[in-house]
Chain A
Amino acid sequence: QSALTQPASVSGSPGQSITISCTGTSSDVGGYNYVSWYQQHPGKAPKLMIYEVSNRPSGVPDRFSGSKSGNTASLTISGLQAEDEADYYCSSYTSSSTPQVFGGGTKLTVL
Chain B
Amino acid sequence: QLQLQESGSGLVKPSQTLSLTCAVSGGSISSGGYSWSWIRQPPGKGLEWIGYIYHSGSTYYNPSLKSRVTISVDRSKNQFSLKLSSVTAADTAVYYCARAVVVVAAFDYWGQGTLVTVSS
A93-B107 in contact given A98-B63, A105-B46, A105-B47 (Cβ < 8 Å): no
In this complex, how many residues of chain B approach chain A with their Cβ under 8 Å: the count is 22
Instruction: Report which of B47, B110, B111 forms a contact with A102, defined as CB distance below 8 A.
Output: B47
Majority-rule SS of B interface residues = strand
**CB <8 Å contact, A46 and B47:** yes
Interface size range of chain A in the complex: 20 to 34
Residue numbers in B under 8 Å from A104 (CB-CB): 46
**CB <8 Å contact, B104 and A34:** yes
From A10-18, A19-27, A47-55, A74-82, the one touching the partner chain is A47-55
Residue numbers in B under 8 Å from A61 (CB-CB): none
| Separation of A92 and B48 alpha carbons in the complex (Å) | 12
**CB <8 Å contact, A99 and B106:** no
Interface status of A89 (Cβ within 8 A of chain B): yes
**CB <8 Å contact, A91 and B46:** no
20 A–B pairs (Cβ distance < 8 Å), ordered by A: A2-B46, A32-B105, A34-B105, A34-B106, A36-B107, A45-B110, A48-B108, A51-B101, A91-B47, A91-B107, A92-B105, A93-B105, A98-B49, A98-B63, A99-B105, A100-B100, A100-B105, A102-B49, A103-B46, A105-B47
